[in-house]
Amino acid sequence: MNMIALSVNRRAVQALAEPRTNLADFVREKLDLTGTHLGCEHGVCGACTVLLDGMPARSCITYAAACEGAEVTTIEGLDEDDVTSELRSAFTREHALQCGYCTPGMLVSARDLVLRLPQADERLIRVGLSGNLCRCTGYVGIVRAVQSVIEARRVRNIPPEPGGGRKILGPVGSGRSLDRGTDLAERMRSVETEQTSPGGSSSVDSIPDFIPATVLEQQFSVAHPPERVFAMFGDIAAVAACLAGASLTAPPKPERVEGEIRVRIGPIAATFSGAARVERSPGDMSGRIVGIGNDRRSRSSTQGEIRYRLVPSEQGTRVDLSIGYTLTGMLAQVGRPGLVRDLAARLIAEFAGNLDRRLSGTLPADAVAADLNGMTLGFSLLRERVARWFGRFSSNKDGAA
């Protein structure tokens, strides 16, 4: 097993992999980035195409170990990319996809053409896409979609990029100079040091914004005025004490908190250690918390974002929450969205109860919430679902009678 360090979708990543592991399997199995598809696994169909140092590459025939220090961008990393957004809209408009299996790789290759070609030449587009096979559409809609994006961008006086960012000829990735590769490797080692050293996670700069893979919308109410609840949210230690499994590992600061969250799901126990950036807006009583964490035992990592807004209500205060997260590694296999949504609702209800008791003075100041036990919550949710199912069955039976 080799420890491979590289940048994936602008995030430093380190993971163990066999020397024979290809890049497609690495991003799918190690990082849970399943937008990269595997088709022929011989480098022919192009379904696995990703960007390697800014250039399209067949990830099924590229060894992950050979990408040490490289910058990899999968289709997930192009969510906010302007060119890709235009292409997605054009593919929809021109009916350029059916089953969609080839589409991620097709979009990566098409993006490269949009950047490079000076004009919407059909022959050059067909040649440029010849390495991406589609078994559904016949390519007519695909070509029209790429043509329309190139034409629209040139009309807006957006010039082509000579070589699409390629600096020298040669194999994919060879445009990366030795110095640049060394600097990137050093930067990733620095990030790893910050994440694993006791004081390393304290750097606010190491907590970047990100695009969550899953977003949950929740809300709860407490019988206290918004001003008091907002002030309470400013007391990070008190808030952490209300959240199951959470604890602080360093004295909190107004803009930053360091801590860990302990999770147990059956035989799996994990402790995510990390840091969070705290933002507050007193004007509209809203806030945002962006955090990162790693569990060394399971080699899992997570990025999370919580946005909240306090709204006056008849009961006191309604708290609107938007919870976004991305989970990678072994624990991602048990993080199914439906289960996570139910567990989040139960955890938020427990947090709301602890928060209400603390604001009411019935919860001791030194009280700490119990550890997060996903199995216990899961059995509780299962019992509730079974009870609802039997309730519906009984109702249908009574109605039939």
pLDDT in tens, 385-397: 556 556 665 555 5
Contact status, residue 210 vs residue 303, Cβ threshold 8 Å = yes
Encode pLDDT of 83-115 as tens digits.
Answer: 999 999 999 999 999 999 999 999 999 999 999
Q: How confident is the model at residue 62 (pLDDT cuts 50, 70, 90)?
A: very high
Spell out the residues 6+ positions from residue 34 whose beta carbon is closer than 8 angstroms to its own.
Answer: 28
* 173: region left, alpha or beta (phi > 0 left; psi from -120 to 50 alpha): left
pLDDT of res. 286 = 94
| The model's pTM | 0.49
* Distance, CA of 165 to CA of 207 (rounded, Å): 28
- pLDDT at position 171: 52
Query: Which of the residue ranges 26-30, 53-57, 139-143, 212-216 would you say has the lowest mean pLDDT?
Result: 212-216
Rounded Cα distance, 317 and 222, in Å: 6
**217: confidence class by pLDDT, cuts 50, 70, 90:** confident
> What's the average model confidence in pLDDT over 49-71?
92
Per-residue pLDDT at 267 exceeds 70: no
Average the pLDDT over 332-348 and give the result. Answer: 65
Which is higher by pLDDT, 264 or 177?
264
Least confident window among 127-131, 187-191, 226-230, 327-331: 187-191
Query: Is 195's pLDDT higher than 60?
Result: no
pLDDT band at 140 (very low <50, low <70, confident <90, very high): very high
Q: Are 79 and 108 in contact (CB under 8 A)?
A: no
- Report, in angstroms and rounded to the nearest whole number, the Rg of the chain calculated over CA atoms: 25
The closest of 297, 307, 247 to 270, measured between CA atoms, is 297
Average pLDDT, integer, range 270-295 = 88
Nearest-5° angle of CA 270, CA 274, CA 275?
145
Min mean pLDDT across 5-14, 96-105, 201-210, 340-349 is at 201-210
Query: Higher model confidence: residue 379 or residue 48?
Result: 48
Are the C-beta atoms of residues 77 and 127 closer than 8 Å to each other? Answer: no
Mean per-residue pLDDT, 346-365: 80
Give the 3-state DSSP-derived string for the chain, with helices as H, strands as E and coil as C. CEEEEEEECCEEEEEEECCCCEHHHHHHHHCCCCCCCCCCCCCCCCCCEEEECCEEEEHHHCEHHHHCCCEEECHHHHCCCHHHHHHHHHHHHCCCCCCCCCHHHHHHHHHHHHHHCCCCCHHHHHHHCCCCCCCCCCCHHHHHHHHHHHHHHHHCCCCCCHHHHCCCCCCCCCCCCHHHHHHHHHHHHHHHHHHHCCCHHHCHHHCCCCCCCEEEEEEEEECCCHHHHHHHHCCHHHHHHHCCCEEECCCCECCEEEEEEEEEECCEEEEEEEEEEEEEECCCCEEEEEEEEEECCCCEEEEEEEEEEEEEECCEEEEEEEEEEEEECHHHHHCCHHHHHHHHHHHHHHHHHHHHHHHHCCCCCCCCCCCEEHHHHHHHHHHHHHHHHHHHHHHHHHHHC
The pLDDT, as a whole number, for residue 78 is 94
Highest mean pLDDT among 73-77, 291-295, 298-302: 73-77
Answer whether 232's CB lies under 8 Å from 238's CB. yes
Quote the longest CA-to-CA distance of the chain. Answer: 80
> Which pLDDT belongs to residue 393?
58
38-52, 128-142, 379-393 — which is least confidently predicted? Answer: 379-393
The better pLDDT of the pair 322, 199 is held by 322
Specify the pLDDT at position 205.
47
Closest CA to 128 of 119, 80, 136, 137: 119
Range with lowest mean pLDDT among 20-34, 263-277, 365-379: 365-379
Confidence of residue 196 (pLDDT cuts 50, 70, 90): very low
In the chain, the percentage of residues whose pLDDT exceeds 70 is 74
Q: What is the reported pLDDT for 212?
A: 78
Domains of the chain: 2-178 (3.10.20.30), 206-376 (3.30.530.20)
Q: What is the C-alpha separation between 237 and 202, in angstroms, rounded?
A: 16
What are the C-alpha distances in Å from 228 to residues 25, 160, 320, 359? 50, 55, 16, 8
Structure tokens at 51: 């960007």
Read off the amino acid at residue 4.
I
